[in-house]
Structure 1
Amino acid sequence: MVLDALELVSAKVNLLPASSLFAGVGDLPILECTTAKCRALIALQGAQVLSFCPVGEDDLLWLSPLEPFEPGKAIRGGIPLCLPWFGVNRREPELPKHGFARNQSWALDNIAESADGDLEISFLFHASEADLRIFPCLFSAQLTIFLASDLTLSLSVRNNSDDTMPLSFAMHSYFAVSGLSALGLNGVEGSEYLDNCQQLARFIQDEALHFTGEIDRVYEGLSGRQCITDTQRNIVINGRGCDTVVVWNPGEALAKDMADVGWHFSEYVCVERGMAFADELQLAPGQQHLAVMTLAQAC
């Protein structure tokens, strides 16, 4: 199916090993997509967008320059899809963080080109019988990526089991920034949040968020629009069906012990959209949930 899909727009999409794009790394397969409006890189592992550059602009996303691209291991940067649970599994904390879908290959289902040259790329994931060892429900997911001047991700998750399925997830976006000292995040003012740096204690965000050290906050039921204000540009995040907003940066002290981050911690901030904590879903048999997130650069 990969080859069939690529034949639709072969001039705009190439399937390449990671080693041909990044020096000294593994050979995970990556789609290189180029249109009149943008260039994007998407890993088949996790259907993970790694890079999105509007024409004439810098990359909206950060990808660790220390990333080794090892099969089956999480890729640091871009937009990992954390599901069927986000963060620490609240029922079985010993399980791997952020689920298992980001560490497995997704099937490239289709590539379509619009009349104005934009691309629509769809991936499919089906949980296997082997996955039942750590998650009690079989499920499927479809991710459709729309590449235009903006980047839109449409994620649909369906419960294929006979039992109610707990689902929490996040589109774990790493945004490239010029630094943390002058960075701000609007769209969270007046909201309550859980502070994961203080044992998930609850606080109120009185004003726009600024980054003065390690930040790990969860804003439940927030939805709406957030805007990262940088000295060089602003980045706007919109979404529906993804009402949890997670904001994270490890800060210098924590990052120094992270092999794939280190001193690069000040080059990114994560503003993630999903459904987690109090927003966790309970999908009935056959039920599906749709979440859509759009990222855009603003003046």
Structure 2
Amino acid sequence: MKLSPSVSIEHTETGLEFINVTSNLCDAKIFLQGGQITEFKPNGKAPLIWVSQNETFLEGASIRGGIPICWPWFGTHANDGWPAHGFARTSLWQADEVHESDEQITISLKLPMKLVNTTYWSHQSALKVEFVLSDKLQVRLTTTNLGNTPFSFTQALHTYFPTSDIKNTHVDGLQNAQYVEFGEGPFLQNEIVGFERETDMVYTQASTKQTINTPEGVISVSRENSSSCVLWNPWIEKSKRLSNFADDEYKTMVCLEAANVLDDAVTLEPKQSHTLITTISWQANNN
């Protein structure tokens, strides 16, 4: 991969390699483990994504925060012992290309399929993620069927957003969507969503744009090639059971995830591709 003037390769104290971006557009960090962006701060504005203060950045472990890539399944697999949310978020990705212009920086990574355990995934396929960085962040996850038979998968871009106070945070734009929560439903979302308890809502037939209203400002979240999304906050009791997560950090984060889940699962015919896209930005002025 040929680097640009704003892009460098660095390592954590634990040895994990990440791509560091420092430019007049934004600052960002993208880890090769998981193909995962963990920092995005537009120039002159507040950070747009959240990482736990307890994150240890250990080899082979998923990173708590940023945008984990859940692929080729979302949630718990039917087979006992298979990794939750698939294997992409703990696999080592390969840096592919960097393109920098005055308007944006694009960084792409690919998952080396020859290293994937065929017990989990035997299909001939390619997986690429692109990060388009400017005053907003766009993430594009592309799956291609390289084989001669169709296959199906579910996926999510598990974005962690920051807030200073979850009780004063609301999500608008999910009205009229249906959701399943804790295995029950579907229910109809009638109102703007607030947070007063553990929340784990899987939405279908959702509009392609939502806003997260926080004390710091309004975050715009949009999706393409997706009619489903996930809204999550672990609240008090589950926070105590989560790895790399402080007991009170539920107060400072919320996940709103672009997805292809439930009846929005993707089936790819031979030689077809599908790209799940999420775009996030500050909608209001922020410091």
CA contact (8 A) 1:35 1:117 kept: no
Matched letter for residue 165 of structure 2: G
Shift of 1:130: 4.7
Shift of 1:117: 4.9
Query: Distance between the aligned counterparts of 1:287 and 1:200, measured in 2?
Result: 34
Residues 158-207 of structure 1: CA deviation (Å, up to 9, x unaligned):
122332211111011000111111110001012210012xx232211110
Which residue of 1 is the match for residue 27 of structure 2?
Answer: 39
Query: Distance between the aligned counterparts of 1:128 and 1:98, measured in 2?
Result: 20
Task: Considering fraction of residues, name the structure with more helix.
Answer: 1
SS in 2 for 1:102: coil
Which residue of 1 is the match for residue 120 of structure 2?
Answer: 134
Which residue of 2 is the match for residue 271 of structure 1?
Answer: 256
Shift of 1:42: 0.6
1:112 aligns with 2:99: yes
Matched letter for residue 104 of structure 2: D
Which residue of 2 is the match for residue 203 of structure 1?
Answer: 187
Give the counterpart of 2:83 among 96, 102, 106: 96
Matched letter for residue 19 of structure 2: L
Over aligned residues, Cα RMSD in angstroms?
1.4
CA contact (8 A) 1:36 1:117 kept: no
CA contact (8 A) 2:109 2:130 kept: yes
Shift of 1:131: 1.9
Matched letter for residue 282 of structure 2: Q
CA contact (8 A) 1:126 1:139 kept: no
Query: Distance between the aligned counterparts of 1:93 and 1:276, measured in 2?
Result: 20
Which residue of 1 is the match for residue 50 of structure 2?
Answer: 62
CA contact (8 A) 1:223 1:240 kept: no
Q: Which runs of 5+ in 2 are unaligned?
A: none
Given the two structures, how large is their TM-score scaled by the length of structure 2? Answer: 0.94
Query: Distance between the aligned counterparts of 2:278 and 2:115, measured in 1?
Result: 30
Given the two structures, how large is their TM-score scaled by the length of structure 1? Answer: 0.91
Matched letter for residue 72 of structure 2: P
Query: Distance between the aligned counterparts of 2:120 and 2:58, measured in 1?
Result: 22
Shift of 1:223: 3.9
1:291 aligns with 2:279: no
Where do residues 42-191 of structure 1 align in structure 2 (5 Å cutoff)? 42-89=30-77, 91-92=78-79, 94-114=81-101, 116-128=102-114, 130-191=116-177
State the aligned residue count. Answer: 283
Relative to structure 1, is the Cα distance of residues 165 and 119 closer, same or farther in structure 2, using a 3 angstrom cutoff? same
- Aligned-residue sequence identity (percent) comes to 29
Give the counterpart of 2:9 among 5, 15, 24: 15
CA contact (8 A) 1:35 1:118 kept: no
